[in-house]
Chains A and B, each alone.
Chain A
Amino acid sequence: MHLLTEVKTMLQACIQCGTCSGSCPNGFAMDFTPRHLWRLVAMDQTDEIFASQTFMLCSSCYYCTLRCPRGLPLTDAMAALKRAAESSGVRVHRKDLLFYNCFMESVRRHGRVREMEFMTLYFTGRKNPLLPFRFAGLGLKLMARGKVSLQVPTRGSRKLDPLFNKVREMEAQSIQSSNR
């Protein structure tokens, strides 16, 4: 299945009015506005799309979804592009995707996310020895209040493994059947 198929279907009825761009709180930091990005999707400009930071800058505030005069699921479309970027294997978004992946790894291990374990996995994955210091002050404040404790990543009970594995299996099947 083409990487953009899912998101193209979502955006089919886009009229390029730009309400999404005018509503986006993160627009100031984006290289392409949301409207521009939807156009690139319609035109299959895969390289430009995946090199863009725009979809990674979506903070899921749902203003665009609320206001879109065509009623399109634009926030979901941004999430679909995050998934497509993951499958495309582009390196540009490695650290954002790592953040999500470390979160999900902690959930998979324990059923619930362990905030300190998740951040430890993220810092380790980023391989930037200075990064943890940006958050050290906050970590100490949280520890002082007994809200979090130092958590060495552990294997956990892996109680959600059956669900995660079944999801993977069903997704693999649906990709196979759409390729046939």
Chain B
Amino acid sequence: MKQYIYYPGCSLEGSAKEYDAATRAFLSLMAVELVELDDWTCCGATAAAAQSRLLSLVLPARNLALAEKTAPGADILVPCSACYLNLKQAWHAAESDPAVLAQLNAVLAEEGLVLTGGNAVRHLLDVLTTDIGAARLAASVSRPLEGLTIAPYYGCQCLRPFIVFDDPETPVSMEGLISACGADVYRWAMGPICCGASHMNTKMDVGLALSGAILQAAEGADAIVTVCPMCQMNLEAYQHKLSRRHGRSLERTVIYLPQLLGLAAGLSEKAVGLDLNLAVTNAFRSKLQGGDNALAAAG
């Protein structure tokens, strides 16, 4: 059984509870063990960098140092793209400049922590596609999602600036996973395009323009799948407002990738937290359940 240190991040305790539930449930089905990092704290999101560069490195570094103390050398699995980038960036800054590493350790000493590195930071999508892979997923699919067309939405920070497991301009890592579920991949160019991030709170019109363009382009897909709580929120939470603005329905099903994979692998809608999502259309639900009927009829 492969083990990872699990860093859920703040959103997965609140607005993205279903992302946490589905990630844990699906990975346990794939015989992956997650050990949640004890006493983890916020990575600083984009807010810390707007206040202080040192603080924006210290906050993720605290978690890296905790991981190092808990399980030296173990991979840290992170489902949130912003947390992933911050954790990665902190180690990158420390590794490429000994003065930064010394500064970070001077601050971490306040808590008796030391950072020396050695724990790789891995995005959930990287683990799903690289460590588990489409073949193993396909072998565990008990409810093929035939007849569903799924739009892969990657967002930004799991792809850029660090080029790790996918092409940062034309990503494909989700396609094999979606196909392994028995679903069709929706062809579009919006996969790696920005959702508007925190603009939705401070510059709403700009945020709505970006997320609206993505929802519009997904016309014809049965669902959009995401791998980041902020992307998910921006795409699911403002659909009514956007539909009014555009003068036509932009209601789309938006779910997290591990929810989709979990459903295909036979987990119940409840187990993957499907009742917690803000935007799951009736059409999507009945197609899902239709799949069950077809399966029952065939069986």
Chain A interface size band reads: 35 or more
Q: A61-B194, A107-B44, A163-B107 are in contact. Are A25 and B210 (CB under 8 A)?
A: yes
Contact status B10-A112, CB under 8 Å: yes
**Cβ of B40: which chain A residues have Cβ within 8 Å of it?**
112
Q: Is A63 an interface residue (CB 8 A)?
A: yes
- CB A169 to nearest CB in B, in angstroms, measures 9
- CB A46 to nearest CB in B, in angstroms, measures 18
Query: Which of A59, A145, A166 is B276 in contact with, Cβ under 8 Å?
Result: A145
Q: Is B292 an interface residue (CB 8 A)?
A: no
CB-CB nearest in chain B for A59: B197
Of the listed stretches B12-20, B121-129, B219-227, chain A binds: B12-20
Contact status A138-B198, CB under 8 Å: no
Q: Is A171 an interface residue (CB 8 A)?
A: yes
Q: Is A21 an interface residue (CB 8 A)?
A: no
**Cβ of B17: which chain A residues have Cβ within 8 Å of it?**
145-147
Contact status A65-B52, CB under 8 Å: no
Contact status B48-A96, CB under 8 Å: no
Please report which residues of chain A, range 87-113, place their CB below 8 angstroms from some CB of chain B when the two chains form the complex.
Answer: 95-97, 99-101, 103-104, 107, 111-113
Q: A113 to B41, alpha carbons, bound, how many Å?
A: 9
Contact status A60-B46, CB under 8 Å: yes
Could you mark each residue 1-30 of chain B with 1 if its beta carbon is under 8 Å from any beta carbon of chain A, else 0?
000000000110111110000000000000
**Cβ of A115: which chain B residues have Cβ within 8 Å of it?**
10-11, 14-15
Q: A30 to B35, alpha carbons, bound, how many Å?
A: 44
Q: A107 to B194, alpha carbons, bound, how many Å?
A: 25
Q: Is A32 an interface residue (CB 8 A)?
A: no
- CB A119 to nearest CB in B, in angstroms, measures 8
Please report which residues of chain B, range 205-263, place their CB below 8 angstroms from some CB of chain A when the two chains form the complex.
Answer: 205-206, 209-210, 237-238, 240
**Cβ of A96: which chain B residues have Cβ within 8 Å of it?**
202-203
**Cβ of A29: which chain B residues have Cβ within 8 Å of it?**
203, 205-206, 209
Q: Is B70 an interface residue (CB 8 A)?
A: no
**Cβ of A107: which chain B residues have Cβ within 8 Å of it?**
41-42, 44, 47-48, 59
Contact status B107-A170, CB under 8 Å: yes
Q: A112-B13, A163-B58 are in contact. Are A25 and B194 (CB under 8 A)?
A: yes
Q: A162 to B209, alpha carbons, bound, how many Å?
A: 41
- In the complex, 12 of the A-B residue pairs with CB atoms within 8 angstroms, ordered by the A residue number, are A25-B210, A29-B206, A61-B156, A61-B157, A63-B194, A76-B49, A99-B198, A100-B51, A101-B47, A107-B47, A112-B10, A166-B110
A residues in contact (CB < 8 Å) with B: 25-26, 28-29, 56-57, 59-63, 65-66, 75-76, 79-80, 82-83, 86, 95-97, 99-101, 103-104, 107, 111-116, 122, 134, 137-138, 141-142, 145-148, 159-160, 162-164, 166-167, 170-171
The 10 A-B residue pairs with the shortest CB-CB distance, nearest first, are A62-B160, A61-B194, A59-B197, A103-B47, A162-B110, A100-B47, A111-B41, A82-B50, A61-B156, A100-B50
B residues in contact (CB < 8 Å) with A: 10-11, 13-17, 40-42, 44-56, 58-59, 62, 103, 106-108, 110-111, 156-157, 160-161, 168-169, 193-194, 196-199, 201-206, 209-210, 237-238, 240, 275-276, 278
